[in-house]
Amino acid sequence: MEQQGIEVPRGLSGVVVTDTALGDVRGREGFYHYRQYSAVELAEHRTFEDVWHLLFHGELPDRAGREEFTKRTAALRHLPAPVRAALPAVSRATAASGPLAGLRTALSLAGAAAGFRPVYDLTPDERRDDALAACALVPTLLTALHRLGQGLEPVEPRDDLPHAANYLYMLTGEEPAPREARAVERYLISTVDHGFNASTFTGRVIASTGADVAACLTGAIGALSGPLHGGSPSRALDALDAIGTPDRADAWVREQVRAGERIMGFGHPVYRTEDPRSRMLKGIAHEFGGPLVDFATQVEERVEAVLAELKPGRELHINVEFYAGVVMELCGLPRSMFTPTFCAARVVGWSANILEQAGDSKIIRPSARYTGPLPPAPVPRLPPAHAA
């Protein structure tokens, strides 16, 4: 029986599903951008708040605009009393899974407590207000859940600190040194958005139904939690731990490839050259220097060489997770917070995509190709319960 529909690649690879003015990834060139600006150049020269403003309002702010936007978003960091009161229970319930799992519940609660309504029913300004509030709350929720899980009291946000510095302050309880704060800020900027990845697409699909911003973001967080998406930075460092010394890298990679295991921190579904985010983060790591950086650099060289030998033509270079893990470790973040930190950045990109999708009332509703037994088959009848 013939089915209607268009055949598409597995995983929707290369399929264009919509138009966007937010940015793009040019994988063969090793380049990506937010609106018309190089994302890496933005990370090198602008603040996180500047990039947030760019994605939400379509332009980079001037100095006065930066101060106004920074002040506005800082005021939104504080948790509503009902949400703060519920966090200890959320932390206990998600203790085995960690802050990212707790965030799904906490953010839903925060959206409900704030009275978020379906984006379908809101004006563009009202949608943006909800998205700003959600983005500002996510770092506060993540750090509070982390600290509660460690038996510590959450740290109240400070309105006088920039976004990245405040995040580290809420995580550790101490104001970070400028070098660490700027390194984390550059990482956050570099991971704000990255094309139609799985979590961004998930958020847009939910937005296409007209659901509220918290619902859209909760779905995106669920997609990000998977180890094949945002769950890799700590796993890349785990790989360094497993290798132990540079001379063991070759044997370790060969063993992993023979076992059919993926080498976390290497390869990307879009880039066919070096990941520009990883190039920048490698530079940040070398600004710190030290044994971990030297070891990571040696392992990178050996892993790429062995992968080129075992998988010729695949172009398996380091991706953002490899040096992201190194940088976050150097800045004192616990490994359990690597993916949550990624989320604290990406929530801004998700929200910008949700706002863009909310402007289109067409629901995303693809088709699937049925491959089960040929229908219609007769339904088997059960004999009467008391049949002889």
| 308 confidence band (pLDDT: 50, 70, 90) | confident
Mean pLDDT for the chain overall: 90
pLDDT digits (tens, 9 = 90+) for 219-242: 999 999 987 787 656 777 888 888
Predicted pLDDT of residue 81: 95
Say if CB 176 and CB 165 are below 8 A apart: yes
Q: What is the mean pLDDT of residues 203-229?
A: 94
pLDDT digits (tens, 9 = 90+) for 135-147: 999 999 999 999 9
Predicted pLDDT of residue 2: 46
* DSSP state at residue 247: G
Say if CB 130 and CB 212 are below 8 A apart: yes
Say if CB 200 and CB 224 are below 8 A apart: no
Classify strands 31-34 and 23-26 as parallel, antiparallel or unpaired. Answer: antiparallel
**Integer-rounded Cα radius of gyration of the chain:** 23
Q: Does the annotation mark 268 as catalytic?
A: yes
Alpha carbon 124 to its chain's center: 24
pLDDT digits (tens, 9 = 90+) for 120-131: 999 999 999 999
Predicted pLDDT of residue 192: 96
Helices 338-358 + 48-57 axis angle, to 10: 20
Helices 213-224 + 124-149 axis angle, to 10: 50
Q: What is the mean pLDDT of residues 311-325?
A: 75
The residue from 180, 300, 321, 329 that is catalytic is: 321
**Identity of the residue numbered 286:** H
pLDDT of residue 1 exceeding 50: no
pLDDT of residue 133 exceeding 90: yes
Q: Per the structure block, which two tokens stand in for 215?
A: 């619902």
Say if CB 169 and CB 193 are below 8 A apart: no
The residue from 53, 146, 194, 268 that is catalytic is: 268
pLDDT digits (tens, 9 = 90+) for 10-51: 888 778 889 999 999 887 788 899 999 999 999 999 999 999
Higher model confidence: residue 161 or residue 256?
161
For 21, other C-beta atoms within 10 Å of its C-beta total 10
Q: Which residues contact 245 (CB under 8 A, 6 or more apart)?
A: 295
Sheet with 23-26, side-by-side order of all strands? 23-26, 31-34, 37-38
Alpha helices in the chain (DSSP H): 39-45, 48-57, 63-75, 81-93, 99-113, 124-149, 163-172, 178-190, 198-208, 213-224, 233-243, 249-258, 276-288, 291-310, 320-330, 338-358
Predicted pLDDT of residue 136: 98
Predicted pLDDT of residue 173: 97
Q: Per the structure block, which two tokens stand in for 140?
A: 């506060």
Q: Does the annotation mark 315 as catalytic?
A: no
Three-state SS sequence of 259-304: CCCCCCCECCCCCCCCCHHHHHHHHHHHHHCCHHHHHHHHHHHHHH
